[in-house]
Amino acid sequence: MEIGVKKRAMIFSGTSNPDLAEEIAAHLGMRLGAVEINRFASGEIYVRFHESVRGTDAFVVQSHCAPVNDMIMEQLVMIDALKRASAKRINAVIPFYGYARQDKKTLAREPISARLVADLLTAAGADRILSVDLHTGQIQGFFDGPLDHLTALPLLAEYVGDKYDNLVVVAPDAGRAKLASKYAHHLHASLAFMQKSRRADVRNISEVMEVVGEVSGRRCLIVDDMIDTAGTLVNAVEALKERGAEQVIAAATHGIFSPPAFERLERSSLAEVIVTNSLPLAKQATTGKITVISIAPIVASTIKAVFEDESVSEIFQGEHLEAIPPERVVDLDEED
C-alpha cells in the first residue's frame, strides 16, 4: 500500500491573547481550530479539541500573561491533549515567555524558573518553541529541541524612524547594550548608556546612577525588551531630562504594565511608549501615551516557514540573533 505524504497545519489559541491569535490566523488565511477551555470549580483546567488533530502540525498560541501560572498551565494541558490525540508535531507559540527574568542564580538557594518552564513544555510534549524577544538569549539553551527566536525590533524601529528624528538611542542598563546598538544601526542614530543599581531584597526597584553619552538637546529613545511596573523607565526618563534631553520616548516589545505602571507613565515626562501586542493591553489602561504595534505579521511568517521547512533566519536577516555583525556596531565616539 502506497500513501502520499500530506501535511496539514492547525492553529489553536489559549485564553491569554485570543485577539493576537485571530490576527495571526488571518494573516495565514486560516481559522483558529475549535477548542473548549473551561475551569472546574476547584480551578483545575479542562481542555478538549472539537476536531481531529491526528497527523497535524499544531501551533498553540499562548502568551504567559497574568495570571501567569494559569496561562502556562493552560498551554501545558493543551499540548498534552494534542499529544494524546496523535498530533504529528506540536509547536508552542509563546509571544511572551513567562519567568524569563529568572534565567540564572544571583543569590544562594534561588531557582532558575525559566529553565523549569522549558522543562515543563518539553515534558508536556512540545516539539518546537516559537517566542518573541526573550529576556536573555541563554534561554534558548534551556530547550533540547529547536527554538525559533523572533524579534519585533524591525517593526518598532520602523515606526520610530518614520515619526522621529534627531535621535539618540539609550540603553537603560548594561544588559540592553546590544539591543540599543541594533536600534542605533536601524535608525542611524548615536548611542548612550545608563548605569543602574537594583535592590536585591525588593523586586522591581532600581535607581539610575549615571548616563554615558551625549543626550543634551536630543530626542532620546529608551529601548528595552519589556516594561513591567515602569519604575526603571520613569527613573531613566527623569535622569535624561535632568541632563538636557529635549524629548524622551520609549520602545519595548512586551508591555506587561503591572500596577502602578499606567499611573507612573501618565505622570512622567515621556512623550510616547511604543509596545507590541505580544501581551493584551490591560483594560484599565488610562494613559494615552501608549502606542501598540502588531507582531502578527512576523509570527505568521515564522509559522509558515516552520510548516514549510524553510529558513526562519531569512525572515529576520540575522536581527533575531545575539551577535552584532561588526559593521552594525555603533561607536560612541563617532561623529553624528
- Kindly calculate the radius of gyration of the chain based on its CA atoms and give it in whole angstroms: 21
DSSP 8-class letter at 37: E
* Maximum C-alpha span of the chain: 77
Residue that is written with C-alpha cell 561623529 in the block? 335
Cα 132 from Cα 303, distance rounded (Å): 12
Active site residue: 196, 241, 289, 304, which one? 196
- Which string of DSSP letters, residue by residue, matches 73-141? HHHHHHHHHHHHTT-SEEEEEESS-TTTT--S-SSTT---HHHHHHHHHHHHT-SEEEEES-SSGGGGG
Helices (H), the chain: 18-27, 68-84, 113-124, 153-163, 177-187, 231-242, 261-267, 296-307, 313-316
Three-class DSSP labels, 198-217:
ECCCCCCCEEEEEEECCCCC
DSSP for residue 328: G
Q: Are 275 and 290 in contact (CB under 8 A)?
A: yes
Collapsed DSSP state (helix, strand, coil) of residue 160: helix
Contacts of 75 (CB under 8 A, 6+ apart): 14, 60, 62, 64, 92, 94, 121, 124
Q: Confirm whether 196 is a catalytic residue.
A: yes
115: left (phi over 0), alpha (psi -120 to 50) or beta: alpha
Q: Which three cell numbers stand for residue 178?
A: 546590544
**Residue 323 is placed in which grid cell?**
551577535
Evaluate whether 92 touches 121 at the Cβ level (below 8 Å). yes
- Would you name the residues annotated as active-site residues? 196
